[in-house]
Chains A and B, each alone.
Chain A
């Protein structure tokens, strides 16, 4: 392959930021060394280096892209394809200061639309760029905004309770954990209690006991404990974690990789953010245990790009753990080596799909892969890979603390352990709640103080944008895997978003449809075009300009939804109709829809 590069040179600043991340070029023709293999083997640095350029310069110019391509021996067309895949990267000039305002469903219930309308008016003035954003994962402090400032000292801030006064101001989010200090907490017990920047404090609160126990009993026994605990994945798909670990541990192919999926982007989800910000060492320890059990020497945390504080705290925790021998060559003096690297997302919901994560880390477009082969066989860099969600991994600490069988006794026989739920929307005390499996929706709602302002309940979105709406008369659904399955619902990522009688549900539905349209990777036809056709039909119903009758539009929606569900490559397309379907069938939202 001959690299065909643009004649445009990078600016000194651009060159400097690229070299800072990749090191100074070793030789004039570095990219051709070893037949180009040396440079190409660093392809996985493509996204980090593009992100570095973005946060230093504010956008990725032709000269900068060309220089990155030269250094990594990546064809410019491919690098451009990667750069244009992520919403947080720009290939056209942008002001240094960019304000991403969340106008997604939870924030819509808290006046995000008014906020956006005011910012829209003020847009021309000022030196900041205002952009609308999908869910920023700060739903308990809605409305939210992410403010990024590019420059030699770039800054990123995730703000809650945002107002439009003087541009954008808000509060840098503070922890709101309604259950803080509750002795029954297992996953959240250290949240708000320990100093998240202190390894000593973490250890004083039981930290690293699980790793010691794991090293004592050996890898097979750890997998056995997790299997006995009947731990199921908390990311949405509810796959048995023990089986996944066992499959990877037994793979003869080396190396094995561990990926922690921290790309929490499902609208209404913020539990992983709270865990990572407030108990970062917990995740690092859990990953170390997982790596020990499954024979991984290298782990990645794929962290959503919109979580600057989680990044800071995790990065600090990794450094501290390494300095004290909890990561690195000989962990706790044993012949066990493990390293963790954080990779940040670039603003793409799809990158939370387990195989899209791999492509994104490897420096390709975050398009999901075809399965089979499954990650346990061929995952990151084509090697056997354990990929688990943050909450799933953190459960492992509790399993090792009390033992698999004891853990399995919590909850119900089909759904063991405790579960984190993210309560947001029109609820009195929004936040993350931890309850043993088996609590009902009503109990969760009561725990959070019921509907805010004593309003009547209109609906609850269970599981996220890819979940389902349930009616006020369905609050006795037990929140277990089997309970929601029987009720034809889903726990998804633990979202419980509450809507009162004042919320325009048609508007919420259209926002959900817009979300899937904007976040589709575009790879397969059913999702790429289906999500567009779905939003168009909902829009026509909303503005009462239907083709034929409203009933015809519903029939159309149903067929579009069925095809997306059946024929899309990945979970995004397969669930893009889920919430909308439930609004039609359960909430009977369009019962009264009229024809023009």
Chain B
């Protein structure tokens, strides 16, 4: 992660126990940090090193002795004497259910790692019933807080809906949205300070939305694409990647990733060019970059079409 220059004296260390093992952890760090230092695998979805933890997905919950309920490892700070179980029956049950809740209501087909977790925790999302058919465009955007939708005994409710394609650069396929708040954080105070999107609605109808569900070109969006960079499920996707996937030509095995420096201004952001068949298909930026933390602007993120438009040099 980010290598900051140490300006303050080192933090006090506290001793905690994780799964029976004694661990020294720096005060102010989280249970997740301590688990990772131990090499313990804790699944996470809404957590990202470069964003404030919102601890909403609850897939990282662990059992803390003395606590009535499970606690989120990603945000709970260590305190001396904590005794933590990361793999107890209770923990495994909650994680299994959280994964089942998500897999039965959201399309996780482009969420990395989740297939493995579903197997590991014995999740069977199909036990809630066959997924309900997709709602028509705009129906979920119009849902009113507190209005009851009676359940349908044939199906498990889902967030399935058509993708929102309202510009040439990226699209919002909210049938894949797990509501992790990462895009809202990246668009807001954590990174971009644009505030083009926020969570709207309530409960199962909660959704990421612009004001009055306006199309992106009418919103405050500046197309920095930093929301795409933090989206854990592929709900936010480059149009170029989406088109390839639709055509069945998206093949990560055939892709190379080349790190280079953005050619536009003097900041010098790093770009990772994802290239398939000699064509740039998307651009990312390393999260562990000291200056940019994986953020780019519209130019670095999307301004690469000209590379493809160059005429081949005559031999």
Contacts and interface: CB of A to CB of B under 8 A. Distances in A.
Interface in A84-124: 84-87, 89-92
Interface in B137-186: 142, 144-148, 150-151, 153-154, 156-157, 178-179
Contacts of A545: 153-154
B17 interface: no
A519 B146 contact: yes
Contacts of B51: none
B145 A85 contact: yes
Interface stretch (B36-44, B91-99, B275-283, B293-301): B91-99
Nearest to A94: B144
Interface residues of A, number: 67
A535 B203 CA distance: 13
A439 to B, nearest CB: 28
Main SS class of interface, B: loop
Given A80-B198, A520-B203, A524-B56, A86 B129 contact: no
A319 to B, nearest CB: 32
A304 interface: no
B127 A547 contact: yes
B201 A529 contact: no
Contacts of A62: 211-212
A584 B147 CA distance: 27
A528 interface: yes
B209 A522 contact: no
A1 B193 CA distance: 6
B156 A536 contact: yes
A312 interface: no
B56 A4 contact: no
Contacts of A66: 211
Interface in B53-95: 55-59, 61, 69-70, 72, 75, 77, 90, 93-94
B89 to A, nearest CB: 10
A134 B146 contact: yes
Contact of B220 (A2, A520, A536): A2
Contact of A514 (B101, B148, B198, B218): B148
Contacts of B214: 6
B233 interface: no
B203 A567 contact: no
B284 interface: no
Given A80-B212, A347-B146, A523-B56, A530 B97 contact: yes
A329 to B, nearest CB: 37
B291 interface: no
Nearest to A511: B148
Interface in A513-564: 514, 517-526, 528-533, 535-536, 539-540, 543, 545, 547, 556, 559-560, 562-563
Given A563-B97, A566-B69, A569-B56, A85 B202 contact: yes
Contacts of A78: 195, 198
A559 B55 contact: no
B202 A520 contact: yes
B69 A565 contact: yes
Given A522-B204, A525-B178, A567 B211 contact: no
Contact of B101 (A85, A521, A530): A530
A87 B145 contact: yes
Given A4-B220, A518-B146, A559 B204 contact: no
A525 B57 contact: yes
A370 B72 contact: yes
Nearest to B196: A77
A85 B199 CA distance: 9
B82 to A, nearest CB: 13
Contact of A532 (B146, B204, B211): B204
B128 interface: yes
B197 interface: yes
A77 B178 contact: no
Contacts of B96: 563
B114 interface: no
A348 B147 CA distance: 12
Interface in B120-145: 127-129, 142, 144-145
Given A92-B142, A528-B203, A547-B129, A65 B101 contact: no
11 contacts: A87-B144, A522-B201, A524-B55, A525-B57, A529-B101, A529-B102, A529-B105, A536-B156, A540-B153, A566-B69, A566-B94
Leading 5 A-B pairs by shortest Cβ distance: A522-B206, A87-B146, A75-B195, A4-B220, A563-B97
Interface of B: 55-59, 61, 69-70, 72, 75, 77, 90, 93-94, 96-98, 101-102, 104-105, 127-129, 142, 144-148, 150-151, 153-154, 156-157, 178-179, 193-206, 209-212, 214, 218-220
